[in-house]
Amino acid sequence: MSFRIDQLPKKKYVVPGNAACAGCGMMIGWKILGMALGEEAVLTIPASCAAVVQGLSPKSGVAMPILNVPFASAAAVATGIAEAYRSLGVKGHAVVWAGDGGTSDIGFATLSGAAERNSNIIYIMYDNEAYMNTGIQRSSSTPLAAWTTTTPMGKRERKKDVALLMAMHGVPYVATASIAYPQDFYRKLKRAAEVEGFKFIHLHTPCPPGWRFDPAKTVEVARLAVETGVWILWEYDHGHFRLNPPSTTYADKAKRRPLIEYLKLQGRFAHVTEEQVKALEEDVEARWRSILALAKAFPQS
């Protein structure tokens, strides 16, 4: 199933007057969310940039129903909304729109709980790879060697692979996505909306101030993450695990662009040594080995 951008719905859910930074990757993702789920979604948003960029209440720069909730609670609150709607006979999707901190760290218990009990929610983790709302502190989703204000010498640990962890919960649907590939993200949202039970989408969303790159280059940075193999597009749908284009091409290492092209655009990697670049390359390789092994181990559909 493919979609043309000019055929996507025209109604805008992200409206002028929001408080996002210039070039915010998350807002690009949010626009696509509006196109895909617009009139059907009720959002639960924990502490995050998304909680702030809505603009100031009682007004909002995002024309969707939004319940802002405590940091760790989003998956559970969305569960409550979904269960209430089921009980009351209301049609719609309980959607969590949460950052990497709210998902991979403080919110991980409620996330895992919701997944295990197969709550009927769509959980979208927009991943800007650090606590950007409080000013660029490390999260467990920050990549190896990346500078943050709490890893001034570069992070010593690798990035937690939340999407894989969610797939290993055996939930109906898990996917990764990138704001550089809107049709792919749109299709995955539409698929998630069809599926009964727990759905998780891990969306890669570069952050110009946090990653220290020119705000004009958000999409370029996001695309380079996929083209260098740092970010892999895949989906797990009812036990079928498959790579998605364009990542399918990059299963062949020779077709990937050199990692350094991705790193050199970002100030957060400005300090990295040759050794660290090697370590990062090995990290990318290790991820590919896992993903390819899983694609082999699970039916492709």
Partner 1 sequence: MKALVAQKTALTGNYAVAYAVKMAKPHVIAAYPITPQTSIVEKLSEFVERGELNARFVNVESEFAAMSVVYGAAMAGARAFTATSSHGLLYMYEATWWTALSRAPVVMAVVTRTIGPPWNIHVEHNDILVLRDTGWLIAMAETVQEVLDLTIQAFRIAETAVLPTAVGLDGFILSHSTEPVELPPQELVDKFLPPRRPDVPLLLRPGEAVTFGNLPSDNRDHARHKIATVYTAQREAKKIVSQVDEEYGRLTGRRYGGLVEWYKAGDAKNVVVCMGAWCSDAKQAVESLRRRGISIGLMRVRFIRPFPEEEVAKLDQYERVVVYDRDITPLGGVLGTEIKALLSRARVVNIVAGIAGVDFDAQNFYETIQKALDGSYREVEFVV
Phi, psi of 202 (to 5 degrees): -105, 110
Minimum distance from residue 51 beta carbon to partner 1 (Å): 6
Residue 54 in contact with partner 1, rule: CB under 8 A:
yes
Could you say which of 35, 93, 210, 236 contacts partner 1 (CB under 8 A)?
Answer: 93
Mark 114-153 with x for binding to partner 1 (rule: CB under 8 A) and - for no binding: --xx-x----------------------------------
Could you say which of 10, 91, 152, 300 contacts partner 1 (CB under 8 A)?
Answer: 91
Tokens of 275: 């050794």
CA terminus-to-terminus distance, the chain: 14
Q: Is 270 left (phi over 0), alpha (psi -120 to 50) or beta?
A: alpha
Could you say which of 11, 17, 22, 65 contacts partner 1 (CB under 8 A)?
Answer: 65
Distance CA 220, CA 218 (A): 5
Distance CA 156, CA 91 (A): 46
Q: How far is CA 225 from CA 163, 178, 180, 261, in A?
A: 16, 9, 9, 9
Residue 88 in contact with partner 1, rule: CB under 8 A:
yes
Tokens of 144: 């190896």
Q: Determine contact, residues 101/139, Cβ cutoff 8 Å.
A: yes
Strand 234-237 versus strand 93-99 pairing type: unpaired
Distance CA 81, CA 40 (A): 13
Q: Which of 81-89, 145-153, 156-164, 239-247 is the region at the interface with partner 1 (rule: CB under 8 A)?
A: 81-89
Could you say which of 20, 62, 174, 224 contacts partner 1 (CB under 8 A)?
Answer: 62
Distance CA 67, CA 96 (A): 10
Residue 207 in contact with partner 1, rule: CB under 8 A:
no
Residue 69 in contact with partner 1, rule: CB under 8 A:
yes
Residue 170 in contact with partner 1, rule: CB under 8 A:
no
Distance CA 81, CA 180 (A): 31
Helix (H, G, I), strand (E, B) or coil at 231: coil
Could you say which of 3, 8, 31, 60 contacts partner 1 (CB under 8 A)?
Answer: 60
Nearer to partner 1, 63 or 293 (CB): 63
- The answer, yes or no, to whether the previous bond of 143 is cis (omega within 30 of 0) is no
Minimum distance from residue 106 beta carbon to partner 1 (Å): 11
Residue 64 in contact with partner 1, rule: CB under 8 A:
yes
Distance CA 58, CA 46 (A): 18
Residue 215 in contact with partner 1, rule: CB under 8 A:
no
Residue 44 in contact with partner 1, rule: CB under 8 A:
yes
Q: Which of 33-41, 161-169, 266-274, 277-285 is the region at the interface with partner 1 (rule: CB under 8 A)?
A: 33-41
Residue 68 in contact with partner 1, rule: CB under 8 A:
yes
Residue 195 in contact with partner 1, rule: CB under 8 A:
no
Residue 10 in contact with partner 1, rule: CB under 8 A:
no
Q: Which residues bind partner 1 (CB under 8 A)?
A: 39-42, 44, 51-52, 54-60, 62-70, 72-73, 75-88, 90-94, 109-110, 112-113, 116-117, 119
